[in-house]
Structure 1
């Protein structure tokens, strides 16, 4: 169909020259925003036990020195046997308390490793880990990712895509953190932890996730979903062929990234894609196909 430059300007027709991009195929997974309160509670308990250990070590050091002084004085007959026994008892009690503090810390570390894995446990053990701070301030959220049972996480994966269920147009990038030590209740597949910007994500919210596969990246083009129009259940776009000529083109296959589509066939780099006004072009195309009424 044809539309003069003047008509195009009046209709607000806008085009975009497509450029090549490459993308790895993805597979879908399940996710939800994790409650980090248990991890924060763990970090709080850890701080308290570390403080107790510091106090017990200091106390033990003091009682050990006192015992050594008393033992020396007793050897020189300058301290009684009772004083030596009291110093020994004090040192033994302090040593027991220091050992108990160390044992409690070891138990807590084991608990953290069993529940959260080495990476997240390390956040809790760190005096001020930046990732944990961002989670605490709700700048980021912790995401539990569950893969389908037949899938494994491809080696070298660093980024995943996340969106609220049914809201693929608003995806966010998630950073893969570590494998999770426990299987979740979503699937019996592999489980992983990721961190993503908080934005509109809330604790407990179920998410859709997309994980890049190990397959080689494929070449194609990417364009805004607003360029797509549907007719007879199929997606179409308009390309500008000449200054005043447009052609409707079927998109046989696509990867839906929400606000944008990735397409490997149907359109190509260098094509001039109509990104605004496609619906008007469709109306004009089919209006031109309607036979003029016979005035007779």
Structure 2
């Protein structure tokens, strides 16, 4: 085909258009490659998110891991209690001592009147003393005997009151002559606790030690030793109550405490996870597991129980698995960042 000279088409714009199309296609290929690379960093195996972090990045970020081992854990239940004053016991002690002094005085008077009566009987037998004098001494002896009986009854009533309200052990500690154990309570070195169990729980006979803490943090709990069962009920709780004693540091009278008591029966197998390993996301707790040299999987933890060294996990983590103890939040951020699509 022939074109007139004045209508000749220039090839330069066509070449420029072809070049633009070529580079646009190349850039689109690069974007696809970048997008695929981003997806490869968050691969899901069986629906389980995976984050890929190379060794250099792990070192720079301070990421740390721990290989967990199986332990045998004794399950526990929580109970509430309070630090109580021994002042009512000391008041009973004072009344008891007064009654004891009165009893001793009554015994002395009866002994003296008995000796006087015996002398009057001898004098009357030999005709030296009149019968009226003998009768007066007999009446005096009867009065002293009645006074002794009354003193003994008061003394016994106070002792029984102490046993009824505080139990045999505490009553014996306070009412005995030595009362060495009470000195620790008076100095503040020990504190008396009343622990009330939930209504459906019991303290088995083999348990004589529990752990308590006013802050409610199991990791800071201290031991408390059983004294005896309490006959006093807590007005706010319905379970059985027991008296315990514990180290008095940071415990003030009237302070509420949380107690952890072993459940009866055998322990459970599981692993201990440090608190630093837990990652919270969407009201669910997770732990990152190192599944390869540079790969980490986020795993949901369904049931955890607070223990002194962290948290006890029964089923969700297996023995010898390597968990992330430092850097879990960083892995979560990296995982979520990879889900955000790049904008043009």
Determine if the TM-score, normalized by the shorter chain, exceeds 0.5.
yes
Q: Aligned runs of 1:69-88 on 2, under 5 Å?
A: 69-76=119-126, 84=134, 87-88=137-138
Counterpart of 2:278 in structure 1 is 228
Q: Which moved more, 1:192-201 or 1:243-252?
A: 243-252
Quick one: structure 1 residues 178 and 58, their matched pair in 2 at CA, closer, same or farther if it must change by over 3 Å?
Answer: same
Is 1:216 the counterpart of 2:266? The answer is: yes
Q: Which of 50, 53, 64 is 1:2 aligned to?
A: 53
Q: Is the 8 A contact 1:116 1:180 kept in 2?
A: yes
- Give the gaps of 5 or more residues in structure 2: 1-51
SS of residue in 2 equivalent to 1:101: helix
TM-score by length of 1: 0.78
Indicate the SS of the match to 1:265.
coil
Contact 1:228 1:236 in 2 (8 A): yes
Query: Following TM superposition, by how much is the alpha carbon of 1:90 offset from its aligned partner in structure 2, in angstroms?
Result: 4.8
Residue of structure 2 equivalent to 1:60: 110
Q: Could you tell me how far apart the structure 2 residues matched to 1:62 and 1:93 are?
A: 12
Structure 2 partner of 1:253 = 303
Number of equivalences = 293
Look up the SS of the partner of 1:22 in the other structure.
strand
Could you tell me how far apart the structure 2 residues matched to 1:88 and 1:177 are?
49
Change (3 A) 1:31 1:249: same
Counterpart of 1:279 in structure 2 is 329
How far apart, in 2, do the equivalents of 1:117 and 1:263 lie?
40
| Native 8 Å contact 2:199 2:239 kept in 1 | yes
1:176 has 2:231 as partner: no
Considering Cα pairs closer than 8 Å and 6+ residues apart, tell me whether 1 or 2 has the greater RCO. 1
For 1:236-288, what per-residue CA distance to the aligned partner results, in whole angstroms no more than 9, with x for missing partners?
A: 23445567665444322111247621111222444444444433444455556
Residue 197 (1) aligns with residue 247 (2): yes
The alpha carbon displacement at 1:201 in A equals: 3.0
Distance 1:195 1:243, change over 3 A: farther
- 1:21 is aligned to 71
Q: Is the 2:83–2:251 Cα contact (8 Å) retained in structure 1?
A: yes
User: Which of the two has greater helix per residue?
Assistant: 2
Aligned CA distance change for structure 1 residues 121 and 70 (closer, same or farther; 3 Å): same
Using a 3 Å threshold, how does the CA distance of structure 1 residues 6 and 179 change in structure 2: closer, same or farther?
same
- What's the counterpart of residue 41 of structure 1? 91
Structure-1 residue corresponding to 2:29:
none
**Would the aligned equivalents of 2:272 and 2:309 in 1 still touch at CA under 8 Å?**
no
User: Residue 115 of structure 1 aligns with which residue?
Assistant: 165
Q: 1:64 to 1:17 in 2, by over 3 A?
A: farther
RMSD, aligned α-carbons: 3.5
Given candidates 130, 138, 142, the residue that maps to 2:192 is 142
The equivalent of 1:153 in structure 2 is 203
> 1:261, 1:26 → 2: CA distance?
13
CA contact (8 A) 1:5 1:243 kept: no
Please report how far the alpha carbon of residue 108 of structure 1 lies from its aligned counterpart in structure 2 after TM superposition: 1.0
